Amino acid sequence: MSDLVGQNAPDFTLRDQDGKKVTLSELRGQPVVLVFYPLDWSPVCTDQLSLYQDSMGDFKKQGATLYGVSVDSAFSHKAFQDHLGIQFPLLADFEPKGEVARKYGMYMEKHGTNERGFVVIDADGKVKHVHKSPSPLEIPAANLILDALAV
């Protein structure tokens, strides 16, 4: 578990795939899941985000909004989202590179990309759960996120 659990989630403002600003503190009142992933267009990231897209109905039943977060630009996110048919927003932690991922302990300095994992934030803005995959090749299953939301 992370030291962040039980703490106020670090606030941020990032642009989504359409260039719209998304500010975490403005999302209070609903659970938020930040899905950190290394890069758009990589095979494992493609599989991961497609898996979550397939589970969107389950996330909505829990009242949760999912946001993908990587160090790619909003332009890359838009093309990636369109290519995969993803309906949840992708946030560009582009410049300063990985600033938000660092706040959540999800940045890999050595590789210049995000870790693969997720953070569940409750409706009050507190970190409820943090999961970091033991390997960048290991996709956190959708049921791990759903279980964390249900607790």
Sorted by where each starts, the structural domains of the chain and their CATH numbers stand as: 29-150 (3.40.30.10)
Q: What is the pTM of this model?
A: 0.96
For 9-38, write each residue's pLDDT tens digit: 999 999 999 999 999 999 999 999 999 999
Alpha-carbon separation of residue 66 from 14, 57, 147 (angstroms) = 14, 11, 14
- Give which of 97, 118, 88 is closest to 106, Cα–Cα: 118
For 140-150, write each residue's pLDDT tens digit: 999 999 999 99
| Catalytic residue (choose from 4, 9, 24, 45) | 45
The rounded distance, in Å, linking the Cα atoms of 132 and 140 is 8
71 among known catalytic residues: no
